[in-house]
Amino acid sequence: FNRAMAEEEVPAETKKAILEKFFSLSPPGEFNDVEKSVRKLVCDDELVDSIVEEAQRKYNEDQLVLFDVEHEGKKFKGIVSSEGRNEDGSYSLPTRGVRFEFDQKEKKPTSVESDETEVAEEHKALCEGLLSYVDDAFFGGASEVYASSTGGYNAVFSGAKFNARNMWNGRWKSRYEVKVEGEEVKIDGEAHIVVHYYEDGNVQLDSKRPLSASAKVEGSLSKAFAEVLRKAENSFHNAVFNVNSELSESAFKDLRRQLPINKQKFDWDRISMHKLAKELPK
């Protein structure tokens, strides 16, 4: 690496690829902050403008961004996903029977209208089971189930909390392929959690795990589906909890001594007395 290489012009397509990567790695709820920083770094608004709209759409769909919906006197939370995007760029929520356009930058639905597409009873049961699980497991979460071209279903759901005042944000998001075969419901997918803490620094927890599980359907498909989700996701939740609980007793202790080299606690009261004694003659 030399000065000539450093001053060599980077191709526009390479710049775009780098910026797209930056945007895709934005912490939960911080895409707009990353965009502001990127604009300051590259000093090329035209370049940023050429990719930011598409980058934000991909980011919102990947993050399963939540939003508030009001339709025909009802208020509820919706979710944006690639699974729910239609060919014309609009989105659908089969559980709620609505179709809408979405403002990716403002994260708000527009042109919300009723969707009369018929939903099969099996599909309805899965939606009910997923909604039951998400309402129980997440604070302010949202979910949706979509029929898949392979004959099964795609279930997506997420929950997020943002606390900019205390400089932390976090999101849990999950995606599963769901199959109902005879008297058994199977799930195969991934749960992903990202937490960003940025007070006087930049610390992130980014953990994901592939999850698969199945359960016998004994009477109610919705209850069996909710139970198999709970079983799979609790295993991941407990693993994350245990790892972080152990950090304070292992890795974090290795970062600093618990006691000085002499193994004696420092007497802060004594040092205060010494300081006072020095000041008295003055």
Residue-level pLDDT at 279: 62
Segment (H or E) for 209: strand 203-216
Predicted confidence at residue 149, as pLDDT, reads: 86
The per-residue pLDDT for 266 is 61
Q: Which residue has the higher pLDDT, 91 or 265?
A: 91
The pLDDT score that the predictor gives to residue 249 is 65
Adjacency order of strands within the sheet including 142-147? 142-147, 153-163, 168-181, 184-197, 203-216
Transcribe 186-208 into DSSP letters: EEEEEEEEEEEE-TTS-EEEEEE
5, pLDDT greater than 60: no
- pLDDT tens profile 6-55: 446 788 899 999 999 999 999 999 999 999 999 998 899 999 999 999 99
Residue 2: pLDDT band by 50, 70, 90 thresholds?
Answer: very low
Mean pLDDT of the chain: 88
- pLDDT in the model for residue 203: 87
pLDDT score, position 68:
95
Residue 182 tokens, joined: 């005879």
Q: What are the tokens at 261?
A: 């080299």
What's the pLDDT tens digit per position in 104-142? 999 999 999 999 889 999 999 999 999 999 999 998 899
* pTM, two decimal places: 0.83
Residue scoring higher pLDDT (263 or 198): 198
The band of 1, judged by pLDDT with boundaries at 50, 70 and 90, is very low
Return the higher-pLDDT residue of 177 and 245: 177
Under 8 Å CB-to-CB from 85, ≥6 apart: which residues?
A: 61, 91
Q: Are 196 and 168 in contact (CB under 8 A)?
A: yes
pLDDT in tens, 162-183: 999 999 999 999 999 999 998 9
pLDDT at 277 over 60: no
228-240 pLDDT, tens digit per residue, is 999 999 999 999 9
Mean pLDDT in residue range 144-166: 94
Contact 156, 79 (CB under 8 A): yes
